[in-house]
Structure formats: structure tokens, C-alpha cells
């Protein structure tokens, strides 16, 4: 009867210890999970804000570059057209004043050459502006892609680290529980044998 009472007391003590350990383990697990989720949420929010800011900046830069390039193209076209008109007017005036057929023919050739040259210059200028525009837009797109890739990598790394931490916490908790159970069993056996 005394042995049975002793066993019941030990069993009750063991039960209390195990329940206490399980409660502590659960609390640790909840805290770890909450911390992990909080870290993930904070990282996701920060990353989202960074992405939005970068995208907005890139879009603004690209839009400004496009506007500048278009204005430059318009100005250059106007300048070239004005130059061509002035040259033609000057040549016509010279031809009218000279009044000679030979110089008239010669002047027409000059006009044709000048107009052709101005057209070529205009085409080259527009091509250069378009090339600049393409480069600016391309750089903006590349920047956005790079930022998105970096953000994805950061998020993945953070998630992997969080998972590793949670798994490590679970493993430690399991080990602690197993050790406690073994110690309790050993204590019970010793008490019973004694």
C-alpha cells in the first residue's frame, strides 16, 4: 500500500512536470511562430514599399526622358524646316536677281543639294533621338527587372531563414520533451526500486 501511494505520488508529479514542459513548449512555439510571421510581414511590407518607390521613380524618369526627347525632336524638325525655307528663299531671290538661265539651273541644283543635305541631317537627328529614347526606356525596364529579382531573392531568403528557425525551435523542443520524459522515467524507476 505504501509502495502504491508512492507510485501514485510520483506519477502525479511526473504528470505535472510533463504538462508544465508541454505548456512551456507550446508557449515557445507560439512566440517563435508569431515572431517568424511578424518578420515575414515586415519584410514583405518593406519590400513592397521599395518596389513601388523604385517603379514610380523609374516611370517618372522614363516619362521625363520621353518628353524631353520628343520636345528636342520637334525643335530640331522646326529648326531644319526653317533653315530649308530660308535657304530656298535666298536661292530664289538670287536667281530672280541674277536672271540668267545658267545661274538659274545652277541655283536649282544648289537648292536640291541643300534640301537633300538638310533632310539627311534631320533623319540623322531623329534617329539619334529615337536611339536615346530606346536606351532610356531600356535602362528603366532593366532597373525594374533587377529590383524585382533582388526583392524576390530577399523574400525567398527571409522565408527560408524563418522556416529554418522554426524547424530548429521545434527540434529543440522535441529534444527537451524527450529528455524530460527520460529523466522522469528514470526517476520513477529509481523511486519504485528503492
Is pTM beyond 0.85 here? no
Distance CA 126, CA 118 (A): 12
Q: What is the pLDDT of residues 33-61, one digit of tens each?
A: 787 778 778 877 887 887 788 778 778 87
- pLDDT the model gives residue 17: 75
Question: How many degrees, rounded to 5, is the angle at CA 93 between CA 113 and CA 90?
Answer: 50
- pLDDT the model gives residue 126: 75
Please check whether residue 153 lies inside any domain of the structure: yes
Q: What is the pLDDT of residues 92-113, one digit of tens each?
A: 776 666 555 555 556 667 667 7
Please check whether residue 182 lies inside any domain of the structure: no
Domain that holds residue 145: 11-172
Distance CA 189, CA 14 (A): 12
- pLDDT the model gives residue 192: 66
- pLDDT the model gives residue 135: 79
User: What distances in angstroms separate CA 158 from CA 51, 57, 133, 151, one per listed residue?
Assistant: 17, 26, 38, 11
Please check whether residue 22 lies inside any domain of the structure: yes
- pLDDT the model gives residue 79: 76
Please check whether residue 167 lies inside any domain of the structure: yes
Which of 20, 158, 157, 14 has its CA nearest to residue 28? 20
Instruction: Give the chain's residues under pLDDT 50.
Output: none
- pLDDT the model gives residue 105: 56
Please check whether residue 1 lies inside any domain of the structure: no
Q: Are 127 and 73 in contact (CB under 8 A)?
A: no
Cα radius of gyration (the chain): 42
Number of folded domains that form the chain: 1
Please check whether residue 73 lies inside any domain of the structure: yes
Please check whether residue 183 lies inside any domain of the structure: no
- pLDDT the model gives residue 106: 63
Please check whether residue 83 lies inside any domain of the structure: yes
CB contact burial 90-99 (16+ within 10 A = b; e otherwise): ebeeebeeee
Q: Are 158 and 43 in contact (CB under 8 A)?
A: yes
Cell, residue 104: 538659274
Amino acid at each position: 500500500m505504501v509502495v502504491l501511494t508512492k507510485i501514485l505520488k510520483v506519477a502525479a508529479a511526473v504528470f505535472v512536470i510533463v504538462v508544465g514542459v508541454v505548456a512551456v513548449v507550446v508557449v515557445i512555439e507560439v512566440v517563435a511562430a508569431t515572431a517568424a510571421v511578424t518578420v515575414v510581414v515586415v519584410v514583405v511590407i518593406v519590400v513592397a514599399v521599395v518596389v513601388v518607390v523604385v517603379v514610380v521613380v523609374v516611370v517618372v524618369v522614363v516619362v521625363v526622358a520621353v518628353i524631353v526627347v520628343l520636345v528636342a525632336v520637334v525643335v530640331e524638325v522646326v529648326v531644319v524646316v526653317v533653315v530649308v525655307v530660308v535657304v530656298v528663299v535666298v536661292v530664289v531671290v538670287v536667281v530672280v536677281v541674277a536672271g540668267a538661265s545658267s545661274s538659274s539651273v545652277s541655283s536649282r541644283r544648289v537648292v536640291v543639294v541643300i534640301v537633300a543635305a538638310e533632310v539627311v541631317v534631320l533623319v540623322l537627328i531623329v534617329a539619334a533621338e529615337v536611339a536615346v529614347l530606346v536606351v532610356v526606356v531600356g535602362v528603366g525596364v532593366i532597373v525594374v527587372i533587377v529590383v524585382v529579382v533582388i526583392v524576390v531573392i530577399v523574400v525567398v531568403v527571409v522565408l527560408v531563414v524563418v522556416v529554418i528557425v522554426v524547424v530548429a525551435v521545434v527540434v529543440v523542443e522535441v529534444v527537451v520533451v524527450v529528455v524530460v520524459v527520460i529523466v522522469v522515467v528514470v526517476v520513477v524507476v529509481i523511486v519504485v526500486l528503492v
